[in-house]
Structure 1
Amino acid sequence: MEMTPKQRLLSSIKGEQVDRPAFSPFLAYYFQSLPLEIQQAGELAYLQQMGADPLLRGAVCAYKYRHKVCSVNEVILDDKKIVTWITPKGTLYAEYIFAKKSNTWYLTRHPVQRVEDIACLKAYYEDIIVVENIEESNAQVEQLGGNGLQLAILGIEQKSSFQSLLEFWIGTINLIYFCEDEPELIADLLSVMQEKSRKTVEITANSKVSACISWEDSSTGNISPSMYQEFIAPELSNWCDILHNENKLYVQHACGLIKDLLIPMGKQGVDAIESITPPNTGNVTIAEANRILPTNISLIGGIDPVFLLNSSKSQLEKEAVDLIKTCSNRGFVLANSDSCPPGVDYDKFLALSQLVRTKL
């Protein structure tokens, strides 16, 4: 019997038998480049039109958060943006610059620069109140029905606490120094941050969503395997325990240089790793991930975004067939990894959709 897209995606993430391989391209950056009328119709309609199984990453959120006394202000002057966080312990600010070509704001100054700023960030998190948004998220799940699968977002910063310090709040270099020079301050800060993010997971676990995701962007480009195991893996393992107790699945988004992080990821309790990215964008092929990871962890991705852009349809189809065969021993969702470059020929999506439906 033919499965619904939701059934097919859930079974793929669980590593269960499916009627055919699941296919769901990751349209980040690509979809925003499409004509306005297509964007207004929505990503779901676009995925359905091409015959994909809509895996809507981060599409619902079962919680909201607000502040008791802290405030956040944003000022934009031409191509520069300044965001300010006013806390009882002082003020933090970040600076951005806008790149028109990529339509993206790039962070140029991390908010936490000095040891004294750590207390400000801690105060900001202590001030956060996490509240339920379950009624709205449940309505979204019910509205989608079997037509796709939403991966509900988790975390105050939509990722683990340490990863948010690494990427945004502090930055790689200063964070490493602070971990060495001020370990107690960082530990106290992480404890508060993790408590708030854990609340988002607990709320989500009691909603009707079936699976969750966080934008970990895990990569040895900015964290060592030992630091990952010390600071990130324990928090994500706790999230997995909470979700699994309520029969929810956890998918970890990891689109960077993750080859040397696969073993600790495999021990966290994750159900799937999303955006497995081969060279040159990433550093691990699906075949390598398949050899390294336990077979109870499903894989999502495998097609390098640059290859998707530059390959012929016949080359792309051959690559897809090889990926699907490689993962015949585990759950797998065929997708491009990391992002999708604007300019990819729509016919390539149609070719992949047709491939999984009729040619395997």
Structure 2
Amino acid sequence: MHFRRQRAGDSHRRENGCLFHHRQRLPAISLRSHYRQLRANRRKGNCRQHLQEGGQEGGPEHTVMTNRERILAVVRGGEPDRVPFAQYDGQAPIEDAWSLVGRDNIGLLRWSCVHSIQHPHCGIETIPIVREGYPGERRILHTPAGDLVEEWVREPALGTAFRRERFVKEPKDYTALRAYLEDAIVAPNVECFLRDRDQLGDDGIPHVNLPRTPFQQMWIEWADLDDFCEHLIESPGIVEECMALMAGIIRQVLEIARTVDVPYVVFGDNITAPIIGERYFRQWAVPSYRVAAEMLDVPVFVHMDGDLKPLWDAISESGVRGIDSLSPPPDNDTSPADVIRMWPEMRMYVNFPSSMHLGTPEAVRRTADEILAPAGHSGRLVIGITENMPPGAWRKSYPQIVAAIHDFGKP
């Protein structure tokens, strides 16, 4: 049996065209010819000239923004030339997407970081396994207080991995987890951010990731949700001790982030009210959000991709100024109109509802229009692809979303 051994460190997620200016709605069947002509115009270098001659409302003064400039205008409270459309890096093959809709029509958000976390007295042993015909890995986390074990199996059809076994299974496992967290050394890794920023260039911006807040980190990264909830009730002392250590690590990461010229930071928390509830959201998420808002001069975003209505009051008091992956109806319960009404300074990266990718082109277009209508003129909206799509659905959806954005016009 073969295995590789490595130092235990922080694994950061890498989950981590020219404008057209037709004010009449474009039927789906005509989009490909429009994009071909737009790419031809771009190659000829006459796109910016067309705009300067008044090809878009705003006349001679109007110039084309890059995807990066467009997203930053939303983040910084500026005036984007149109509502940005961006995907997490890797959601669709970006070169193919650019060929379909034009490079200027979809930008990139790349999960990045400004820190690293090392554990000098811990190590991870990885052993290849096969479970029910599927390949995977058995990972053994060695700590000064004992070992923890998890298993991952890859699902070939979707290209994703899922956990069959979690590191923390019973209360006694928190002793080893505590030793692992106490061993953490947080160090700057600004090179990661700078590399991503330079590689993205005008195409997008780094999505600077912070560690998850303690409650979310526990059930997503360490323990099964049901087990964790039982442990929190039955053995609160050791569990909350581990969670306090996680909060301390977040503060150390923020000390690094405040020294770097990042556009914003993101807690990749995957917040949904039915799991965390208002009590634990206020106890174990809001404090870290407030600390971040107090320490940093840039917006604090949180990946909130679930049902949020029971948390609305707490979100209002949290210091959060950006919702990453807001998932509106029909998938979840908070709409762009709700955000506009309740939180005047809140930026929103709205995930185009994953379920609607299964609809007809007309349904996709209608959904895009419904997102734009209440929020497009706010200057605080980015339409995003920040959750999984059905395989290949982007080929149908992206042209419809782009057409809706162009028909909507300047925010």
Q: How far, CA to CA, are the matches of 2:367 and 2:282 in structure 1?
A: 33
Count residues with an aligned counterpart: 342
| Shift of residue 48, structure 1, vs aligned partner | 8.4
> Which of these residues, 176, 198, 210, is aligned with residue 120 of structure 1?
176
Deviations 1:20-66 (A, max 9, x none): 211113466x43xx5xxx6xx699x67984533424141x2211222
Counterpart secondary structure, 2:161: strand
Aligned to 1:241: 294
Deviations 1:75-94 (A, max 9, x none): 12122431111111111111
> Which of these residues, 214, 224, 230, is aligned with residue 161 of structure 1?
214
Kindly indicate whether residue 312 of structure 2 is the aligned counterpart of residue 262 of structure 1. yes
| Shift of residue 287, structure 1, vs aligned partner | 2.8
Aligned to 1:326: 374
Q: How far, CA to CA, are the matches of 1:63 and 1:302 in structure 2?
A: 27
Q: How far, CA to CA, are the matches of 2:153 and 2:140 in structure 1?
A: 15
Q: How far, CA to CA, are the matches of 2:176 and 2:280 in structure 1?
A: 24
Deviations 1:264-284 (A, max 9, x none): 223211221021113453333
Kindly indicate whether residue 226 of structure 2 is the aligned counterpart of residue 176 of structure 1. no
Counterpart secondary structure, 1:216: coil
Closer, same or farther: CA 336–309 of 1 in aligned 2, 3 Å: farther
| Shift of residue 326, structure 1, vs aligned partner | 0.5
Closer, same or farther: CA 70–254 of 1 in aligned 2, 3 Å: same
Deviations 1:224-259 (A, max 9, x none): 121111111111221222222xxx222211112223
Alpha-carbon contact 1:138-1:207 (below 8 Å) kept: no
Q: How far, CA to CA, are the matches of 1:16 and 1:217 in structure 2?
A: 28
* TM-score, structure 1 as length reference: 0.85
**What is the one-letter code of the residue matched to 2:228?**
L
Alpha-carbon contact 1:201-1:239 (below 8 Å) kept: yes
| Shift of residue 215, structure 1, vs aligned partner | 1.7
**What is the one-letter code of the residue matched to 2:229?**
I
| Shift of residue 136, structure 1, vs aligned partner | 4.2
Deviations 1:150-190 (A, max 9, x none): 111112xxx22221102221232222222223222222212
Aligned to 1:305: 354
Kindly indicate whether residue 284 of structure 2 is the aligned counterpart of residue 228 of structure 1. no
Alpha-carbon contact 1:95-1:108 (below 8 Å) kept: yes
Q: How far, CA to CA, are the matches of 1:48 and 1:208 in structure 2?
A: 31
Deviates further, 46-55 or 82-91: 46-55
| Shift of residue 330, structure 1, vs aligned partner | 5.6
Alpha-carbon contact 2:320-2:346 (below 8 Å) kept: yes
**What is the one-letter code of the residue matched to 1:353?**
V
Q: How far, CA to CA, are the matches of 2:324 and 2:390 in structure 1?
A: 18
Q: How far, CA to CA, are the matches of 2:183 and 2:129 in structure 1?
A: 29
> Structure 2, unaligned stretches of length 5 or more?
1-61
Q: How does 1:1-360 map to 2 (within 5 A)?
A: 1-2=62-63, 3-26=65-88, 30-31=91-92, 34=93, 49-58=102-111, 60-78=112-130, 79=134, 80-155=136-211, 159-244=212-297, 248-291=298-341, 293-312=342-361, 314-327=362-375, 328-329=377-378, 331-336=380-385, 338-360=387-409
Alpha-carbon contact 1:250-1:272 (below 8 Å) kept: yes
| Shift of residue 193, structure 1, vs aligned partner | 1.6
Structure number with larger C-alpha Rg = 2
| Shift of residue 199, structure 1, vs aligned partner | 1.7
Q: How far, CA to CA, are the matches of 2:379 and 2:316 in structure 1?
A: 14
Alpha-carbon contact 1:13-1:332 (below 8 Å) kept: no
Q: How far, CA to CA, are the matches of 1:279 and 1:357 in structure 2?
A: 23
Q: How far, CA to CA, are the matches of 2:182 and 2:100 in structure 1?
A: 40
Say which structure, 1 or 2, has more relative contact order (CA 8 Å, 6+ apart): 1
Closer, same or farther: CA 309–243 of 1 in aligned 2, 3 Å: farther
Q: How far, CA to CA, are the matches of 1:191 and 1:302 in structure 2?
A: 32
Aligned to 2:10: none
Counterpart secondary structure, 1:17: coil
Counterpart secondary structure, 2:393: coil
* TM-score, structure 2 as length reference: 0.75
Q: How far, CA to CA, are the matches of 1:53 and 1:250 in structure 2?
A: 23
Q: How far, CA to CA, are the matches of 2:182 and 2:252 in structure 1?
A: 13
Aligned to 2:27: none
Closer, same or farther: CA 142–303 of 1 in aligned 2, 3 Å: closer
Alpha-carbon contact 1:274-1:301 (below 8 Å) kept: yes
Alpha-carbon contact 1:297-1:330 (below 8 Å) kept: no
**What is the one-letter code of the residue matched to 1:71?**
G
Q: CA RMSD in A?
A: 2.6
> Structure 1, unaligned stretches of length 5 or more?
none
Closer, same or farther: CA 53–149 of 1 in aligned 2, 3 Å: farther
Closer, same or farther: CA 102–144 of 1 in aligned 2, 3 Å: closer
Q: How far, CA to CA, are the matches of 2:334 and 2:155 in structure 1?
A: 29
Counterpart secondary structure, 2:392: coil
Alpha-carbon contact 1:253-1:275 (below 8 Å) kept: yes
